[in-house]
Structure 1
Amino acid sequence: MVERTGDGAQTDGRSTRWDEHRAQRQGELVDGAVALIEEEGAHFRMQRLAERMGLPRSVLYRHFKDRASLDELIRRRVVESFVQRMEPTLTFEGTIEESVHRVVGAHLDWVSQHPRLYAYMGIAEHSMGDGSLVADTKSAIALTLGERFGDVLKALGVPKVPVRSVAVGIVGFVDTAVNQWMRDPEPEQSEDELRAMLCRSVWAVLDSTLRSVGVELSPQQRVSDLERLAAAQG
């Protein structure tokens, strides 16, 4: 069946349905690969994926240009999972301390729950700004935090501070520390100790940054109270 589009071009309905089927099947194969990585680790063989999905290996390559294209789609799916876990935490609800614990905790919780997916992302191989998917994701999280932190400071009438640089530094520090902890065969800290150390360190950076512009806040201060105070003073 031929369908006419708005611009006068004609498309074959069967072709469209086949494209949709291919996209759905490709998604199922990517999901299967993600599950395989969770179970067996990052260095899986295509034959194992074929066996898992009940397909000849040759059929897999009909859905992907090559192994590199499959890896890229897997990495995108893993990054989506990570971002979905992080996004709800990128707020300043509650106290400053609670906000820090929420963001750091979400990062560490996801890594602890998905250690093999974290390894697959190749975190240690990608620095912020190198143009890779993983690096861009870290940069986006850092910039989001920077913007929200900057909005709070602006509401308080705080002089200009390098919030983006501070946010990028914090995200890079947390990410590198967690990555090293995951790779260490004999970690020098427990997960709870690592979590506490990261939260203390993040607050120390924020506190130092604020003091440099003459602002002293308690980590128990509620951000919403600060915003209301700034509005009343304005």
Structure 2
Amino acid sequence: MRDGAAAPARSRDRRDSRWDEHRRARREQLVDATLAAIGRHGAGVGMDEIAAAAGTSKTVVYRHFTDRTDLYVAVCARVADQLLPRLRAAMELGGTPRAMTTAAVEAYLAFCEADPELYRFVVHLHPTDRPVDADPIDSLSDLVGDQAAALLRSALTQAGRDPAPAGPWGHGLIGLVRAAADWWLRAERPMPRAELAAHLTELAWAGLSGVVTTEPRPATEATEDL
């Protein structure tokens, strides 16, 4: 009897697993439809427009997502999954810390430039259905800040400096780039992406270069400090 009882249980498990996979696939399709709707209608897209892009009704969308916040978090997670590997790859290219910083800044700006409306949707248009317990974009900023901090910590250590400031500097650098990217998009990209990345690196490095390099400082600078 034990074998007979186990068979229906295994059958139910397989059915449950199939339905779980179906639900996951349907959620991914609805995220795809949301991305398409954002591309068509902009960051302020509504649920009616998202449902139309999916070829279904809002009732069906809400069958798979608790509310607009749940859908927003899923879109943010998709964006984070795409963006974070690009930023990691840029930071891990090697070379000097300055070159790695420039590469990471330009990778972030490339994401903004490729789809400004999607950037605005995930970064600025938090839904008001309920508080977002775990915003993947905020988590993404933290992860990128941690990587920038690790880069700076290594450079400070190699320069024989105290690595303690690496944490606030790394996260501050991410805040600088994010604020500048917001301005760049609002101003309708008044300069090429590479030029903006160079400007931001120059600003950051003007403060960082004195503490993350082992190169001797010019005598005039040493005299001015005195």
Specify the TM-score bucket, using the shorter chain as the normaliser: 0.7 to 0.9
Q: CA deviation at 1:100?
A: 2.3
Q: Is 1:173 paired with 2:176? A: yes
Structure 2 vs 1, CA of residues 124 and 81 (structure 1 numbering), >3 Å: closer, same or farther? same
Q: Is 1:216 paired with 2:187? A: no
SS at match of 1:55: coil
RMSD after superposition:
2.7
Per-residue CA distance 1:52-111 (angstroms, 9 max, x = gap): 222233222211112221122112212222213212112261233422221111111111
User: What residue number does 1:143 align with?
Assistant: 146
Larger deviation, residues 137-146 vs 87-96: 87-96
Structure 2 vs 1, CA of residues 86 and 65 (structure 1 numbering), >3 Å: closer, same or farther? same
SS at match of 1:208: coil
1:205 to 204, 207, 221: 207
Alignment of 1:5-44 (within 5 A): 11-44=12-45
Count of paired positions:
205
Q: Is 1:133 paired with 2:139? A: no
Q: CA deviation at 1:131?
A: 6.6
Q: Distance in 1 between matches of 2:16 and 2:181?
A: 47
Question: Which runs of 5 or more residues in structure 2 are unaligned?
Answer: 1-6, 127-132, 218-226
Does the Cα contact within 8 Å between 1:124 and 1:176 map onto a contact in 2? no
TM-score, normalising length from structure 1? Answer: 0.76
Per-residue CA distance 1:124-170 (angstroms, 9 max, x = gap): 98xxxx97432221121111121233134334543344111111111
Identity %: 28
Q: Amino acid of the residue matched to residue 212 of structure 2? A: L
Q: Amino acid of the residue matched to residue 216 of structure 1? A: E
Does the Cα contact within 8 Å between 2:43 and 2:125 map onto a contact in 1? no
Q: CA deviation at 1:202?
A: 2.1
Q: Amino acid of the residue matched to residue 173 of structure 2? A: I
Q: Distance in 1 between matches of 2:191 and 2:210?
A: 25
Per-residue CA distance 1:9-50 (angstroms, 9 max, x = gap): x95321221121111111111111112212321121222222
Q: By percentage of residues, which structure has more helix?
A: 2
Does the Cα contact within 8 Å between 1:170 and 1:202 map onto a contact in 2? yes
Structure 2 vs 1, CA of residues 155 and 95 (structure 1 numbering), >3 Å: closer, same or farther? closer
Q: Is 1:194 paired with 2:196? A: yes
Larger deviation, residues 176-185 vs 23-32: 176-185
Does the Cα contact within 8 Å between 2:161 and 2:211 map onto a contact in 1? no
Question: Which runs of 5 or more residues in structure 1 are unaligned?
Answer: 5-9, 219-234
Q: Distance in 1 between matches of 2:205 and 2:180?
A: 15
Does the Cα contact within 8 Å between 1:108 and 1:178 map onto a contact in 2? yes
Structure 2 vs 1, CA of residues 50 and 161 (structure 1 numbering), >3 Å: closer, same or farther? closer
User: What residue number does 1:158 align with?
Assistant: 161
Q: Amino acid of the residue matched to residue 66 of structure 2? A: K
